[in-house]
Amino acid sequence: MLTHEYPPYVYGGVGTFTYDLARSLSSKGTSVSVMAGYPAGAANIKLDGSRKTEKNLEVIRIPRLGLPPSQLWYEIMNLARIRSILAKFDIIHSHCGPSFPMIFQCKRDYPKLPWVVTMHTNPVSQLYYATKSVTSMEGSIGDIFANVVGFPIWDLGFRVHASLADAVVAVSQHLARELREEYGVNPRKLFTINTGVNLRTLGEAYEANFSSQDEDKPVKLLFAGRLYWPKGVLYLLRALVSLNIEFRFNNYRLEIFGDGPLRRRILSFISKFHLEKNVKLMGFVRHTELLDSMANSNIVCVPSLYEACPVGMIEAMALGKPVIAFDRPFARELLSGVPHFPIAKNIREYARLLYTFCTSPDLRDEFGNLLRKHTLELFDVDTVAEKYLRVYRGLS
């Protein structure tokens, strides 16, 4: 399994999902070797899981650069190293935004070795929202460089993978449609397998932090994600201004977990609109700490403008938290299993939904329980691992 991010060196949900998937596959008797990137300055380590459930799991750390596009540097820096050991594996499975050098070289050297690639995004959609961030004057130089200037590299990588990979896995139905339309992926080798989450870990966080809400205390809101434009955090802050002024409600506290290029702009916005008593930036924290905070919150805000199958949103649903999102394909797909769950079409509707859920603990519990049941049925990483095993067996 190839991934340029893997705990403890992660940017977001892809690394968390890869970690849970590798552990689940190994617990089912599949021997898994993860070749994972580590940032400059970190120790080069090799871990062989000591617990019984990890006895088939090996994690090999190989270097990567933090500069975008990091997945390209990961492949270029380690091409010779990875090619030298591929012959001992039955399946190669790569994750995240693929680049072309590795699959091109390895398919030339080992044409019969099956290659599975999991697509977690679509470069064309990333380009679209990066361009919109420019027109809004709210995008960062780094993200514009990665998604606009770097688009030809991303685009070429996806086209090469669409052509050479033996199986292409999209993490959502809408992403699968985008890949068929934009990259002409052969439907016979295109599979849709949702991102999964570790329900045991989430269950422990749920049990440890479950408590009834004191109606006199501020409602706890939570946002988690990289602080850049497509995550919609500025839209969320504008909704809070509407919540305070138009709906005359300010008995809430929003904790923002994560870091990124919009941090200074967010602080400026908070000061400008006098949100200091309502909003606190928590920075980057370990995943376990984030889950504890999420389990202890009342409402999770997912104002993203584009996602494929966001791990954080699924984790919030598994913890029984009502999720407030905009009307985007990923939100409609993830929330489709809960009839009549409200989705915001604009910032004012987002503020109205926040007001409705903030002022109705019973409604929070009702929809939170429905979301938790829906997630337990569909997004268990062990179920996801079984689907991947069926793909592997079909190729071997």
Q: What is the pTM of this model?
A: 0.91
Looking at the fold, whether 315 and 270 belong to one and the same domain comes out as yes
Q: Residue 48's pLDDT is what?
A: 36
The secondary structure of the chain in percent helix, strand, coil, rounded to multiples of 5, reads 50, 15, 35
* SS3 state at 94: strand
Q: Residue 66's pLDDT is what?
A: 66
Task: Specify the range with the lowest mean pLDDT, choosing from 74-88, 118-132, 264-278, 346-360.
Answer: 74-88
| Count of CB atoms situated within 10 Å of the CB of 160 | 20
Q: Residue 50's pLDDT is what?
A: 29
Looking at the fold, whether 171 and 220 belong to one and the same domain comes out as no
- Domain containing residue 133: CATH number: 3.40.50.2000
Counted domains in the chain: 2
Q: Of residues 212 and 370, which shows the higher confidence score?
A: 370
Domain span at 23:
2-196+380-395
Mean pLDDT, range 225-247, rounded to an integer: 96
Q: What are the Cα distances from residue 335, in Å, to 16, 86, 312?
A: 21, 40, 14
Q: Residue 53's pLDDT is what?
A: 38
Q: What are the Cα distances from residue 66, in Å, to 56, 185, 312?
A: 29, 30, 22
Q: What's the pLDDT tens digit per position in 16-43?
A: 999 999 999 999 999 999 988 776 555 4
DSSP state of 217: S
Q: What's the pLDDT tens digit per position in 371-393?
A: 999 999 899 999 999 999 999 99
Looking at the fold, whether 46 and 102 belong to one and the same domain comes out as yes
Q: Please report which confidence band the pLDDT of residue 63 belongs to, taking 50, 70 and 90 as the band edges.
A: confident
294-318 in b/e burial notation, b at 16+ Cβ within 10 A?
bbbbbbbbbbbbbbbbbbbbbbbbb
Looking at the fold, whether 180 and 285 belong to one and the same domain comes out as no
Mean pLDDT, the chain, whole residue set: 88
Q: Residue 195's pLDDT is what?
A: 96
161-175 in b/e burial notation, b at 16+ Cβ within 10 A?
bbbbbbbbbbbbebb
Looking at the fold, whether 117 and 213 belong to one and the same domain comes out as no
Looking at the fold, whether 234 and 320 belong to one and the same domain comes out as yes
In angstroms, rounded to a whole number, what is the distance separating the alpha carbons of residues 199 and 8? 19
